[in-house]
Structure 1
Amino acid sequence: MAPMQDSLTNDTPTDLIAQVRAAAAARTPLRIVGGDTKAFYGEPAAGQPLHTRTWRGIVAHEPSELVITVRAGTPLAEVEAALADKGQHLPFDPPHFAAASGEGPTIGGVVAAGLAGPARATAGGVRDYVLGAQFINGQGEWLTFGGQVMKNVAGYDISRALAGSMGTLGLITHLSLKVLPVAPAEATLVFKMGQRDALEQLHRWGGQPLPLNASCWVRDPQPGSARPPEGAQTFLGWPGERLDDTAVDAPELLFVRLRGAVAAVESACERMAREAGGQRMDNAQAGPDWAACRDQRLPFFDAPSPDLCLWRLSLPQTAPVLDLPFSQLIEWQGAQRWLWAPASAAMQIRAAAAAVQGHATLFRAGADGAPGVRRFDAEGPALQAITRRLREAFDPHGIFNPGRMG
């Protein structure tokens, strides 16, 4: 751990460094704010706002090297547009949650939150694509870890530890990210099948050389839930089928997205449709649906009742159907499961997740804020010790996002 050496850039965030040093001297807590699109996630953070959105811009993009270096306050949309212009993308499919102000997420917030979209199970998570980072620690020192290639890490890989740290280790200023070319072909198949059959089928396909990229199993929302505009086709129905708002026996559907070489995708479509009786969706229809799934804009994610909480279950892909009386949406070939339930069901939900070696997160609290319920599962003693030592090393006075992770 050392101040600025062999930096990713010579681009110095003088104003941010000054703000952090002043806060450290006064022991003033800071609440890091980028796009503020994930303010709901984790425990409410206290402190004086430290805004990063003005610290923006793409510093370097080397398409032939598959790497992009950006300032942390750069909007995610701006980064993705620059990559798309060169036929590239961020494979972990980061969500585009919207803030009350209408602003979108920043790339620094994407890494700090560590959240990934539907492709996570096959493409990898956020930290898998962080090559290097610069950040300001709790003493106002500007530090560099990693770089712009995969094989340059000596000692602790702190740049990847920033992914999912929720800003509690330091203020990210620059990131170098690995990117990949957009796949030549993409297709989405939809199958009518229940949750148990869908999980079993996904496990079978997962053991075969198929270009699987994403999956989503969902049962249509309960009567009265929000609906798309008339004529719209989303994950709510079999292609060409319009569901009645009063229907109780709504279909259970599995959607699978394939990406890869043209021949591989076409062959997989034919084989999977034949094996499980699926239909192929038009990409113009499926693309917006996957984006809506990624960004939690599907009707499933509209709270059935203001007092319910959205729970996120992180489980082994091979975990069976859980004995929980709540409707679910399942992604990542079974590894990520969403459900709406009251805060009072926390013990029941967490016990069910722990029984299959998983854990549960209270992702979005209900209208009352779910007082007394932890947002994240308690860490084990070993992980607690590592986390505590990291925070003491990088933020000894605890000024960054205090309490955000509980």
Structure 2
Amino acid sequence: MRIETEQQLAEAIRSAQGPLAIVGGGTRPVGQGAGARLEVGISGITLYEPGALTLVAGAGTPLSEIEEVIAAQGQRLPFEPARWGTVLGASGESTIGGVVAANVSGPRRVQAGACRDSLIGVRFVDGAGETVKNGGRVMKNVTGYDLAKLMAGSWGTLGVLSEVSFKLLPAAVAQATIVLDLSAEAAQPALSAALGSPFDVSGAGWLPGIGAIVRIEGLAQSVAYRAERLRDLLAVFGPARIETHRSAELWRCLRDLVPFEGKSGDLWRLSVKPSEAPDILRRIGGEVMLDWGGGLIWALVPEGTDLRARAAPYTGHATCLRGQSPAFEPEPAPVATLTRALRARFDPRGILNPGRMG
């Protein structure tokens, strides 16, 4: 069933006789449980105030539409949302509601924060079919319980988003990338040094066939100066060069996992303590990419690999985006208790994406 309005959404949930599989653009089929398909197509930008750096849109609005509109005004979503559809073998087009539901945050998270940090308001329908509004359309209106942050990353298990509100940022005029020819295991100290520098780094990762990459953004003259200074600082880790013409393409490749496209195997995402990354990489093998200064490891391993067991011990969590292993990390007992209580409150019948997150 495709839903076009919030009223239809509320009625569909109220009248549901069994589990519902909540779908946005269908590009992130991670841990999807059984149930009647409920496709959210509530689309359209309902408010855009470039001067206030504020945007409000229906949850089913294509991400590409939003990015095109705000780019025309020299603005961007701060958290650099990724497209995983191609690498996950999924059709469809990423929607802004799906981005929020999965809290999708790209390389710029190290500077601008995650998706939830730019989210200032939501409307959603809970498991009882009741419409809930939280937050506002400007930062100062975000008061009381911050349900917007709770909805980000809940994967449709607490409510179905109908509208989202964001704070935007001006787009960078220029960018440059410092590239170091380092192995993945050797890259983390250099990435940490870059992030700890005073040069306002907006990305720090590692790409196969390229090496360690560090991004600087801003006004052209400032970018040129900071990139040169940072290159000199990182020279202690090995020869470093500055890329300008290919810079944007390098970060798109990391953001959208382009090196893994068309390759078989299980795809994992490990969010870990950056200092643990080198040891984890030595244990897991396979093909990898790094983001967030080594705090995010993408791994492509043979089918059936239990990467949680292979990577242990680690501080953080591992998510199987493609494969037969359970998608989400088992929660510690205190967290699991809290999760059950939240679901009982927001979805008393247990019909919203049951089993998706355990």
| TM-score w.r.t. length of structure 2 | 0.90
The residue correspondences of 1:142-221 to structure 2 (distance < 5 A) are 142-220=131-209
The equivalent position to 1:17 in structure 2, one of 6, 10, 20, is 10
SS at 2:250's partner residue?
Answer: helix
1:341: which partner in 2? 301
Q: Give SS of 1:151's match.
A: helix
Q: How far off is 1:147 after superposition? A: 0.8
Query: 1:113-152, aligned counterparts within 5 Å?
Result: 113-152=102-141
Check conservation: 2:194, 2:214, Cα contact below 8 A: no
Tell me the alpha carbon deviations over residues 100-150 of structure 1, each in whole angstroms, 9 at most, x when there is no partner. Answer: 674211110110011211212222101101101000111111110111122
Unpaired runs of 5+ residues, structure 1, are: 1-10, 221-234, 236-252
**Structure holding more helix per residue:** 2
Equivalent residue for 1:50? 38
Range moving further from structure 2, 96-105 or 153-162: 96-105
1:6-405 equivalence runs, <5 A: 13-23=6-16, 26=17, 28-39=18-29, 41=30, 43-53=31-41, 55-98=42-85, 102-220=91-209, 235=210, 253-275=211-233, 276=235, 277-283=239-245, 285-298=246-259, 300-303=260-263, 306=264, 308-322=265-279, 323-326=282-285, 327-342=287-302, 343-353=304-314, 357-365=315-323, 370=324, 373-405=325-357
CA distance in 2, matches of 1:402, 1:310: 23
Q: For 1:325 and 1:395, how far apart are their aligned partners in 2?
A: 37
CA distance, structure 2, for counterparts of residue 320 and residue 22 of structure 1: 48
Q: Do the aligned residues in 1 keep the contact of 2:58 with 2:162 (CA within 8 Å)?
A: yes
Amino acid at match of 1:212: V
1:346 Cα deviation (Å)?
A: 3.2
What are the superposed Cα offsets for residues 77-121 of structure 1, whole Å, 9 maximum, x if unpaired? 001111101110011111123376742111101100112112122
Counterparts of 2:122 and 2:308, CA distance in 1: 38
Secondary structure of the residue that 2:140 maps to in structure 1?
coil
CA distance in 1, matches of 2:148, 2:244: 40
- Which runs of 5 or more structure 2 residues have no equivalent in the other structure? none
How many correspondences in the alignment? 345
Specify the code of the residue in structure 1 equivalent to 2:298.
W
Q: CA deviation at 1:255?
A: 1.4
Q: Considering fraction of residues, name the structure with more strand.
A: 2
Deviations 1:36-73 (A, max 9, x none): 0001x2x23211111112x1000000111111000001
Q: Select the structure of larger CA radius of gyration.
A: 1
Distance across 2 between alignment mates of 1:265 and 1:358: 33
Q: TM-score, normalised by structure 1?
A: 0.80
Q: Is residue 195–residue 204 contact of structure 2 (8 Å, CA) maintained in 1? A: no
**CA offsets, 1:256-280, max 9 Å, x none?**
1111233432122112223423222
- Paired with 1:302 and 1:279, the residues of 2 have a C-alpha distance of 30
The amino acid of 1:333's aligned partner reads G
Structure 1 residues 102, 374: closer, same or farther in 2, change over 3 A?
closer
Q: Distance in 2 between matches of 1:211 and 1:336?
A: 19
2: CA distance, partners of 1:93 / 1:49: 28
Instruction: Tell me whether 95-104 or 44-53 shows the greater mean CA deviation.
Output: 95-104
